[in-house]
Amino acid sequence: MSDSVKYLLPEDRIPRAWYNIAADLPQPLPPPLHPGTGKPIGPDDLSPLFPMALIAQEVSTEREVEIPGPVRDVYKLWRPAPLYRARRLEQALDTPARIFYKYEGVSPPGSHKPNTAVAQAFYNREAGVRKLSTETGAGQWGSSLAFAGAFFGIEVKVYMVRVSYQQKPYRRVLMETYGATCIPSPSNETDAGRAILAQDPDSPGSLGIAISEAVEVAAKNADTNYSLGSVLSHVLLHQTVIGIEALEQMEMAGHWPDVVIGCAGGGSNFSGLAFPFIGKKLREKKDVRVIAAEPAACPSLTRGRYAYDFGDTGHLTPLVKMHTLGSTFIPPAFHAGGLRYHGMAPMVSHLKELGLIEACAVKQNPCFEAGVAFARAEGIVPAPESTHAVRVAIDEALAAKEEGKARNILFNLSGHGHFDMQAYADYFSGKLEDRDYDEAALQAALGALPKVAA
Amino acid sequence: MSDSVKYLLPEDRIPRAWYNIAADLPQPLPPPLHPGTGKPIGPDDLSPLFPMALIAQEVSTEREVEIPGPVRDVYKLWRPAPLYRARRLEQALDTPARIFYKYEGVSPPGSHKPNTAVAQAFYNREAGVRKLSTETGAGQWGSSLAFAGAFFGIEVKVYMVRVSYQQKPYRRVLMETYGATCIPSPSNETDAGRAILAQDPDSPGSLGIAISEAVEVAAKNADTNYSLGSVLSHVLLHQTVIGIEALEQMEMAGHWPDVVIGCAGGGSNFSGLAFPFIGKKLREKKDVRVIAAEPAACPSLTRGRYAYDFGDTGHLTPLVKMHTLGSTFIPPAFHAGGLRYHGMAPMVSHLKELGLIEACAVKQNPCFEAGVAFARAEGIVPAPESTHAVRVAIDEALAAKEEGKARNILFNLSGHGHFDMQAYADYFSGKLEDRDYDEAALQAALGALPKVAA
């Protein structure tokens, strides 16, 4: 049996600039709007929450954005991340396809999230900010910002969705180990939290509620900024180190990918791998299919409406144009907590509208089945979120087998599952349900979308 | 602030041979004895349990033992492992010492254990063996053998100490994800297990009991071999890839270590890092202090007797000469489950007697304190076992500060703590006790040592 192959870049090949896909778009991204005026927002509207450097990145159309030296220095702890050819998985599937994966679980917190957490902590520190507030679902983002905060001397306060806070205590302990404070949301610390608790003292919380709390704290406290782990364009920008490295590693491997796949909740790991490949397609007419793999229980790209909507439940954020299930939509519980968000990144949504990416929705039992097959062949246990990408990659490899044709498949293994073994235990014991979203609730949430002249 | 530095070797620098310290010993290792005859055992005594290739390695005095190609191929998934200079920790301690650490948590199961698990699975597979039995405490070893079994098509059955099986379900789920079977020990499947359960139906189990069960299954079933994750010389041999890489990385860094530190339970990660450096000392008179950091609650090297003893509770193993607390000694509960073993590897014990290594015992609260300081400075959360090495490294760095003299400290960060966050939670909540072992129980266990003409 021929073994799997690792393609590793030397440290000096850590990218020196992030790739900004806005430079190559055939049509510009629709701007965020002020919910009161319905007019495009300006930098001043965002300055209570973000440092100017990040606001500038949010609207930049420069193709390359230099990565500051101190950010690259921290990246060096785990980057360049390896890219593997999964030969053993290919053999297990008996497919003529070549399967490659980029592995982002090598970061100390175990996922791709530190790529932007470190950058955001750096720019805030440069701007003199010493406190950041944020939200987290399953805890990958919160633990990554806690990690970055420790490196740049920033106090991090994380509002963690209450049900995750109670059911998944280990990523909370990880945040505390890095020195951050973690608070179950909804909390009594904010107006947004108190409003929810007044209606439902036992509210399990949601990502949308936790965002409202974190934004409120930053808006009301001059010494505190807000930090978001996905969705916004500057976050996706920081993640492009993944794809820039992967481009070079695929060249080492001597193959161009016919298909590029990432799981998509808010869209950051998907964008990080895919954007540099889409850029090649836009600039050099390279042919590549790009697939966003989303959960069937929270299918914003495949079932949502492309419309202006709020990013949070409390309606404190600007309106952004995105594929959305509605900010009042509460997805059913499932284990890939990092994918339980009502909207999709505006840039990813825009690319979908432009026909530059595809999307598909997958159920959780087939995802865990794929995750187990991957672990037994390649040795790495994927995070529940990442199993969505594994599932679609395996389906592409099986389709290639069916057709009797080779194809090159590249997917992003965005994190390891070491903190998510309860999900695997539930899968093995047959306890996992393939719950669909509630169609009536979706229609109600879509009916409640804000009215904006599009 | 100057940042920490990673020293990474290219893939072709994965060692091609393990280093066998037996070749350089001033006095040979005392042989294992047959408990019935009191005579040295021969290969035939071990052949029901191990393939001949491993039996030969157990007694080899060749300095270099070639690493088979298929083993190196699997090592390539994560090796060469990085070595770091912990500059940020140095700055946090304000020490003139240089602190280096080798990081073995990059393996898919998260510790150094796969270095030998992969080799053992390979040699068993070569010998036509399709089933392996083993034991595990906290689960690092069991999950590593499960991982290796998946790669070489071997069924793995793991007897897991019952209290860990119940309290630490996640490494058990990891084993199952890799396709292994995990059974709480003592079990009803073996005579050894049934004998314990007859006396105490609620027995929490111990590593010594679990070893008896796994050995019994291998001895009674012709199609099953036994696999051990530490203690034996061939296991320590396989771990020397750690130190061989570290020798080259310290050369890259331009420094020779004045002190080399590893945590020691059975002794395998300690040996893996230390033996190649001790070899340099023996052959080239290079000066180096080598320190084994053991838990105060199970202090075989510092409080045990150097004597012939059984490796297991059920007295199924040969007698080996080692520092032992007595095979009937049950250490108090503490979180570094991988260090809860009554004996120390015979080779490590022998080196201690020869004055080539030192040992010190540390309590668990100061270890977790060190682990948290390390995580906040360097970003990686150490396994509870590894925090023992971190503690002693920090103490050495603080001693250097006290003396106002630089020194180069190298320690082994044998694994990450992602599966052990409950231990950190207990530490933060003040629930961890610094329990000492029971002196009367120790004296009773030492009094029950087998009588052998030494």
Residue-wise pLDDT for A215-243, tens only, equals 999 999 999 999 999 999 999 999 999 99
Backbone angles phi, psi at A140, to 5 degrees: -65, -45
Neighbours of A358 (CB within 10 A): 16
Evaluate if residue B1 carries a pLDDT over 60.
no
3-state secondary structure of A17: strand
User: Per-residue confidence at B453, pLDDT binned at 50, 70, 90?
Assistant: low
* Both structure tokens of A101: 């994966």
CA distances from B306 to B35, B320, B445 (A): 17, 10, 13
Question: Regarding beta strands A5-7 and A83-85, do their DSSP bridges make them parallel or antiparallel, or are they unpaired?
Answer: antiparallel
ipTM for this prediction:
0.95
State the amino acid at position B322 in one-letter form: M
Smallest CA–CA separation between B150 and chain A, in Å?
6
Evaluate if residue B40 carries a pLDDT over 90.
yes
Whether B176 and A428 lie within 8 Å, measured CB to CB: yes
Q: What is the pLDDT of residue A332?
A: 82
User: Per-residue confidence at A116, pLDDT binned at 50, 70, 90?
Assistant: very high
Radius of gyration of chain B (CA): 20
Evaluate if residue B454 carries a pLDDT over 60.
no
Whether B176 and A77 lie within 8 Å, measured CB to CB: no
User: Per-residue confidence at B330, pLDDT binned at 50, 70, 90?
Assistant: confident
Contact A122, A150 (CB under 8 A): no
pLDDT in tens, B251-300: 999 999 999 999 999 999 999 999 999 999 999 999 999 999 999 999 99
Neighbours of B289 (CB within 10 A): 16
> Which residues in chain A touch residue B10, judged by CB atoms under 8 angstroms apart?
8, 10
Q: A446: which residues sit within 8 A by CB, 6+ positions away?
A: A304, A305, A325, A326, A329
pLDDT above 70 covers a percentage of chain A that reads 99
State the amino acid at position A139 in one-letter form: G
**CB-nearest partner of A418 from B150, B419, B425:** B419
User: Per-residue confidence at A453, pLDDT binned at 50, 70, 90?
Assistant: low
Whether B11 and A11 lie within 8 Å, measured CB to CB: no
- Greater confidence, A206 or A276? A276
Q: What is the pLDDT of residue A167?
A: 82
Which residue spans within B124-229 are E strands per DSSP?
A: 131-136, 155-161, 181-185, 224-226
Q: What is the pLDDT of residue B336?
A: 81
Handedness of CA B348, B352, B356, B358 (dihedral sign): positive
* Both structure tokens of B131: 């089933």
pLDDT in tens, A37-60: 999 999 999 999 999 999 999 999
Q: B114: which residues sit within 8 A by CB, 6+ positions away?
A: B74, B78, B107, B108, B144, B147, B148
Smallest CA–CA separation between A150 and chain B, in Å?
6
- Greater confidence, A115 or A316? A115
Whether B110 and A421 lie within 8 Å, measured CB to CB: no
SS (H, E, C) B335-357: CCHHHCCCECCHHHHHHHHCCCC
CA distances from A88 to A103, A326, A375, B152 (A): 16, 42, 11, 11
CA separation for the pair A194, A297 (Å, rounded)? 28
CA distances from B343 to A87, B367, B446 (A): 41, 21, 12
pTM: 0.96
pLDDT in tens, B69-114: 999 999 999 999 999 999 999 999 999 999 999 999 999 999 999 9
Instruction: Over range B305-323, report the average pLDDT.
Output: 95
Size of interface A-B (CB pairs under 8 A): 118
Query: What residue ranges define each of the domains in chain A, with the CATH number in brackets?
Result: 68-110+238-447 (3.40.50.1100)
Query: Average per-residue pLDDT in chain A?
Result: 95
State the amino acid at position B24 in one-letter form: D
Q: What is the pLDDT of residue B296?
A: 95
Q: What is the pLDDT of residue A2?
A: 60
Question: Regarding beta strands A64-66 and A17-19, do their DSSP bridges make them parallel or antiparallel, or are they unpaired?
Answer: antiparallel
CA separation for the pair B452, B35 (Å, rounded)? 9
Evaluate if residue A432 carries a pLDDT over 80.
yes
Q: A108: which residues sit within 8 A by CB, 6+ positions away?
A: A77, A78, A114, A147, B379, B380, B381, B416
Q: What is the pLDDT of residue B354?
A: 98
Evaluate if residue B2 carries a pLDDT over 80.
no
DSSP H or E stretch at residue A92: helix A87-93
> Which residues in chain B touch residue A421, judged by CB atoms under 8 angstroms apart?
169-171, 173-174, 177, 419
Q: What is the pLDDT of residue B111?
A: 97
Identify the contact set of chain B against chain A, taking CB-CB distances under 8 A: 3-6, 8, 10-11, 70, 73-74, 76-77, 84, 88, 106, 108, 110, 147, 150-151, 169-171, 173-174, 176-179, 372, 375-381, 416, 418-419, 421-422, 424-425, 428
Interface test with A, best of B151, B154, B155 (most A CBs within 10 A): B151
Residue A374's Cα: distance from chain center in Å?
Answer: 21
Chain A CA closest to residue B88: A151
User: Per-residue confidence at A336, pLDDT binned at 50, 70, 90?
Assistant: confident
